């Protein structure tokens, strides 16, 4: 499969991740008495990964996340030369999804973007967690995410079950970390939403690139170490 086609698959996959996950947060989480809340948003993110992994996993590997792609390079599972194509595609997919969510949400009278499912720390954290807490949370959660991705996709792991394990992991990560940072573990997802939230959310975007990428590298290297024969 050509790199171009694999990159297009990544764009479509990341579009679905952000549309399903962030869309559920913006459009459905806050409805009085009927909102899906943190649990529903967490499940939405997990389900996007499960569904898209079965759809494009055999085409592009279904990374959907620059931190995952970079972590897989560190773990020896992906070519460094292909990173720019994947990362650009992932960020573009996230931005198009955020624009789609904005277009839908703005159709409701009185709509204001507010946080727009963006990530943040301090005053922008859902429950006021400080910078150091947000940084540690994002590093650790992404490290665990990559560790499980590496393990679930190992040739020695049960075939065909990786999407379920990875999707459940992302859902669990959200259950733990939504109160802290609104859960990134994905620089592309953070970038798309921050563009439409604007202001301080863009100022804090650096953390949601640095911490997930660092965590992804750590998790991949740890798995590579412990799994080596």
Check whether 37 has a pLDDT greater than 80: yes
Check whether 30 has a pLDDT greater than 80: no
Domain ranges of the chain: 3-227
- Secondary structure in 3-state letters for the chain: CCHHHHHHHHHHHHHHHHHHHHHHHHHCCCCCCCCCHHHHHHHHHHHHHHHHHHHHHHHHCCCCCHHHHHHHHHCCCCCHHHHHHHHHHHHHHHHHHHHHHHHHHCCCCCCCCCCCCCCCCHHHCCCCCCHHHHHHHHHHHHHHHHHHHHHHCCCCCCCCCHHHHHHHHHHHHHHHHHHHHCCCCCHHHHHHHHHHHCCHHHHCCCHHHHHHHHHHHHHHHHHHHHHCC
Q: What is the pLDDT of residues 59-102, one digit of tens each?
A: 999 999 999 999 999 999 999 999 999 999 999 999 999 999 99
pTM to 2 decimals? 0.96
Check whether 34 has a pLDDT greater than 80: no
pLDDT band with cut points at 50, 70 and 90 for residue 39 = very high
Q: What is the CATH number of domain 3-227?
A: 1.20.1080.10
| Per-residue confidence (pLDDT) for residue 32, from 0 to 100 | 74
Question: How large is the average pLDDT for residues 194-221?
Answer: 97
């Amino acid at each position: 499969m050509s790199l171009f086609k694999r990159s297009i698959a990544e764009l479509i996959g990341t579009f679905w991740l952000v549309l399903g996950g962030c869309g559920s947060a913006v459009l459905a989480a806050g409805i009085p008495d009927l909102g899906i809340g943190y649990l529903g948003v967490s499940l939405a993110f997990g389900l996007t990964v499960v569904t898209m992994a079965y759809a494009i996993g055999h085409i592009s590997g279904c990374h959907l996340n620059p931190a995952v792609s970079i972590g897989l390079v560190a773990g020896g599972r992906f070519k460094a030369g292909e990173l720019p194509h994947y990362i650009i595609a992932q960020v573009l997919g996230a931005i198009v999804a955020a624009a789609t969510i904005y277009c839908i949400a703005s159709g409701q009278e009185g709509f204001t973007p507010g946080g727009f499912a963006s990530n943040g720390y301090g005053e922008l954290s859902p429950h006021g967690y400080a910078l150091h807490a947000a940084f540690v949370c994002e590093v650790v959660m992404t490290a665990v995410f990559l560790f499980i991705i590496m393990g679930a996709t190992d040739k020695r792991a049960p075939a065909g079950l990786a999407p379920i394990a990875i999707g459940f992991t992302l859902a669990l990560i959200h259950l733990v970390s939504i109160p802290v940072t609104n859960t990134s573990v994905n620089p592309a997802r953070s970038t798309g939403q921050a563009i439409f939230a604007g202001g301080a959310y863009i100022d804090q975007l650096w953390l949601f690139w640095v911490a997930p990428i660092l965590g992804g590298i750590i998790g991949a290297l740890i798995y590579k170490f412990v799994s080596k024969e």
